[in-house]
Structure 1
């Protein structure tokens, strides 16, 4: 495979997909990345499928104009509702993100797992097709109403966030789950809060590492790795960049851009 110095494109409905970006950047530090946060339209989870597809295509076209060689859909809702349409329309490899149900089922001893996700993900045909494989496991689904908005507003540690997490997680604890799947790329930023609520024996599972490994596989098999040291990431957001800069530790270039 020849080298390919074009960037990796990553998009999400907002800032949450930076949890996926971090996993990719850690595994593939020599790759240049361009991250697109469509925070103006967050959250995608409450929108109709047609609108999610249209927004995902708009984001894809923005990244293709930036000459991206591969596109990571760092949004569970966009993946489960739009990735088939994206793959059919654009001649570029796409990496999606889905709730990590399989590893949760594999690790569960009680065969009862919980999943915290958006309405759009839980209602999608792709998600329901995935869960059908695991008839022997009880899957307790919970829509995380309001969580994405609070994260986007920089209110991760707010009393409202704590209240919502207790209301969503306590019934799962009572149902004897031993694995909690985070089905939204925003939610890994809530892990410190979630750990304060869950008993120690409940394992928290997200998709970041798996997505990074799949990205590495596609670069190796189809696209090519970068051979330069020009790996400074660029972040674009279509709202005030303050919260995105804070979540990245004010280390990288973040540009406010209308798209």
Structure 2
């Protein structure tokens, strides 16, 4: 099955580019359009209704760009809005959820940590995932302030280091052996996190699983792009594109647009 339209992705800012990178690596021949709603970041502190409204607005922008599938590259938007999006729009949606299952299944200490936004940890969908693993102790931590620092290009700042220590130290004291990153921004913090955590604690995120699921849905329902010319990767942001350009390594087209 052939479908030359682009894959659309959106997030509350630049974090979802961690998901985009996994998808682009697995499906390099596909055109993609990425939408960074940095003006409204972080979604994690907003109400469910606000998150649904913003997610719908982002979806309509991508539909107007003729996207064939939409990846909700944001844990908070997935856990709070994807159900409504699937009802409202006739297009396949791929969501991201914290990778609790693989962590819980492989944990030897029966204790795992999850660092996520308030919106994700308080969502009904997250609760449904957690209640499947009654034998596992899950230490939850809201990552207050982390998204804002990432959006401001302060990944390596002292403030970031201090916040991560504050959030991770109690988890280490509880003897976790897995740390689940429950926000698409957080993979950009892995180098910083590795300086704090001992090597026996494994860090896990959802990027690779989302890429594989995207490929599966393209194969089963949507169709792949015909290979006849180089693929195009296009990025939109509604704030200063400087940090997004830096994250992408100045390799792709980034457009500033109010949406």
Regarding TM over 0.5, the answer is yes
Q: Separation in 1 of the partners of 2:211 and 2:246?
A: 23
> Secondary structure of the residue that 1:213 maps to in structure 2?
helix
Is 2:236 the partner of 1:240?
no
Q: Separation in 2 of the partners of 1:58 and 1:231?
A: 26
Q: Separation in 2 of the partners of 1:195 and 1:14?
A: 24
State the 1:178 CA deviation. Answer: 0.1
Corresponding residue for residue 253 of structure 2: 253
Corresponding residue for residue 48 of structure 2: 49
Q: Separation in 1 of the partners of 2:178 and 2:112?
A: 5
Corresponding residue for residue 125 of structure 2: 126
Corresponding residue for residue 104 of structure 1: 103
> Secondary structure of the residue that 1:35 maps to in structure 2?
strand
Cα-to-partner distance string for 1:127-156 (whole Å, 9 max, x where unaligned) = 001100000000000000000000000000
Q: Separation in 2 of the partners of 1:50 and 1:232?
A: 34
> Gapped runs of 5+ residues in structure 2?
none
Is 2:6 the partner of 1:7?
yes
Is 2:222 the partner of 1:186?
no
1:1-259 alignment, distance < 5 Å: 2-228=1-227, 229-259=229-259
Superposed CA RMSD: 0.5
> Gapped runs of 5+ residues in structure 1?
none
> Secondary structure of the residue that 2:250 maps to in structure 1?
coil
> Secondary structure of the residue that 1:231 maps to in structure 2?
coil
Q: Separation in 2 of the partners of 1:232 and 1:162?
A: 36
Q: After the TM superposition, which segments of 4 or more aligned residues of structure 1 sit over 3 Å from their partners? A: none
> Secondary structure of the residue that 1:34 maps to in structure 2?
strand
Cα-to-partner distance string for 1:149-168 (whole Å, 9 max, x where unaligned) = 00000000000000000000
**Range that drifts further, 204-213 or 226-235:** 226-235
State the 1:231 CA deviation. Answer: 1.1
State the 1:107 CA deviation. Answer: 1.5
State the 1:230 CA deviation. Answer: 4.2
Cα-to-partner distance string for 1:100-124 (whole Å, 9 max, x where unaligned) = 0001011210010000000000000
State the 1:232 CA deviation. Answer: 1.5
Q: Separation in 1 of the partners of 2:143 and 2:207?
A: 19
